[in-house]
Amino acid sequence: MDFQAHKEIAWNGIWKQNTGVVQILGLCPILAISTNVVNAVSLGLATILVMALANLAISALRNFIPYEIRIPVFILIIAALVTVVDLAFNAYLHELYLVLGIFIPLIVTNCIVLARVEAFAAKNEPAHSTTDGIAMGVGLTLVLAVLGAMREIVGSGTLFSGIEMIFPGTEGLTLFGDNYPGFLVAILPPGAFIALGFLIAGRNWIEARKQARARANPPASGAPQASVEPSAPAEAA
């Protein structure tokens, strides 16, 4: 039962309420960082960590936070956590910090962290809240990765450039040869808006197809199930 709840939360974060293409939150880092896959995924991973920690901390403390001043307290906790993560990375994972370093403070500007804390962690127990933070972070990371790949391939004709800083010995791919002139619009912010538009359209298209199919044959699958087990449709919805 509890596993079911976690699964529901995870699905919600990754697909149904995806931060990047459904809630359209956190556009600032999405547009700024998704110029290549490595940068995008790096920011995504740092966001997962901060969101999980913030959701966990605030969910655990939620009974001590008066409703009237919840927002300032949330901001205080998130900022403190980000500072701690930033310092800890700098001290103990210095190599990784050189790559992720500039992204960690950026997370404070990401309204998705505050949004999830306010909408979920403040009302739910710690385990579920942590799952929600991770799932929302993973959803964002997936969008960032796809967006980064689109912009990098079109804009500079490479994939995974810069990966040698994270995994020494590996090398990014050059897709169209060394003479690819590049397509600057894809690298600049307008390219991010255009690529994000395609992603949102793609997700809506998949959802619309799914709904159309569900409408087309409800008697075949929906009706018999409902008569055998009354709780099934409620769970599906």
Partner 1 sequence: MSETTALGLSARTGGVMVAFTVVFTAVMAFTYDATRDQIQASATEEKMKLISEVLPGTTYDNALLEDYVRLGPTRELGLDEGGRVYRARKAGQPAALLLETTAPDGYSGRIDLIVAINADGSVSGVRAVNHRETPGLGDYIDPRKDRDKKSPWIAQFSDLKAADVPACKVKKDGGQITYHTGATISARAVTNAVGRAARFAADNQNRLFAAKSGGPL
What count of other Cβ atoms lies within 10 Å of the Cβ of residue 4? 9
Q: Is 3 in the site for partner 1 (CB under 8 A)?
A: no
Q: Give the closest residue to 138 by CA, choosing from 44, 232, 205.
A: 44
| 113 contacts 44 by C-beta, under 8 angstroms | no
The number of residues that bind partner 1 (CB under 8 A) is 36
Minimum distance from CB of 22 to partner 1 (Å)? 26
Q: Is 88 in the site for partner 1 (CB under 8 A)?
A: yes
CB-nearer residue toward partner 1: 9 or 40: 40
CB-nearer residue toward partner 1: 113 or 135: 113
User: What are the angstrom distances between the C-alpha of 23 and each of 17, 19, 111, 166?
Assistant: 6, 5, 11, 30
Dihedral through CA 108, CA 111, CA 112, CA 118, nearest 10?
Answer: 100
Ordered DSSP codes for 155-209: HHSEESTTGGGTSTT---EESS-TT----HHHHSHHHHHHHHHHHHHHHHHHHHH
Minimum distance from CB of 111 to partner 1 (Å)? 20
Minimum distance from CB of 164 to partner 1 (Å)? 8
Residue that is written with structure tokens 């505050």 in the block: 114
Minimum distance from CB of 138 to partner 1 (Å)? 22
Q: Is 91 in the site for partner 1 (CB under 8 A)?
A: yes
How far apart are alpha carbons 4 and 127 in whole angstroms? 13
Q: Is 131 in the site for partner 1 (CB under 8 A)?
A: no
**Applying CB under 8 A, which part among 11-19, 58-66, 116-124, 225-233 lies near partner 1?**
58-66
Among 60, 90, 126, 222, binds partner 1 (CB under 8 A): 90
Q: Is 32 in the site for partner 1 (CB under 8 A)?
A: yes
How far apart are alpha carbons 113 and 66 in whole angstroms? 19
Minimum distance from CB of 82 to partner 1 (Å)? 10
**Applying CB under 8 A, which part among 2-10, 87-95, 122-130, 224-232 lies near partner 1?**
87-95
Positions in 154-173 near partner 1 (CB under 8 A): 156, 158, 161-162, 165, 172
Minimum distance from CB of 101 to partner 1 (Å)? 10
Q: Is 52 in the site for partner 1 (CB under 8 A)?
A: no
Q: Helix, strand, coil % (nearest 5) of the chain?
A: 80, 0, 20
Q: Is 115 in the site for partner 1 (CB under 8 A)?
A: no
Q: Give the closest residue to 86 by CA, choosing from 105, 62, 113.
A: 105
Give the three-state DSSP class for 1. Answer: coil
Positions in 59-78 near partner 1 (CB under 8 A): 64-66, 68-69, 72-73, 76-77
